[in-house]
Structure 1
Amino acid sequence: MTGRLAIVGLGPGDDRYLTPEAREALDGADALYGYGPYLDRVPERCGQARHESGNRVEGARAEAALRDAASGAQVAMVSGGDPGVFAMASAVCGEIEAGPESWRTLDVVVVPGITAMLMVAARAGAPLGHDFCAMSLSDNLKPWDLIERRLDAAASAGFVIALYNPISKARPWQLGEAFTRLARHLAPTTPVVFGRAAGRDDEAMTITTLDQAHDVKADMATLVIVGSPETRVIARQGHAPLVYTPRTAAAVSA
Structure 2
Amino acid sequence: MGDTQDWTAASGAAERARSVPAAAWSCAVTADGAREEYVGAHTMTGDGAVRLTVPDDSALLTAAVRAPRQEPSAVLEFADVAPVPVRGRIRARLYLSGPLVPDRGTLLLRPARVVLRQSCGPVAVDLDDYADARPDPLAGAEARLLTHLARAHPDAVERLTRLVRPESLHAATRVVPLAVDRHGLTLRIERTRAHGDVRLPFHAPADDLAQLTERMHALLAQAGAATYPRALQRQHTDGDG
TM over 0.5: no
TM-score when scaled to structure 1? 0.26
Structure with more of its chain in strand, by fraction:
2
TM-score when scaled to structure 2? 0.27
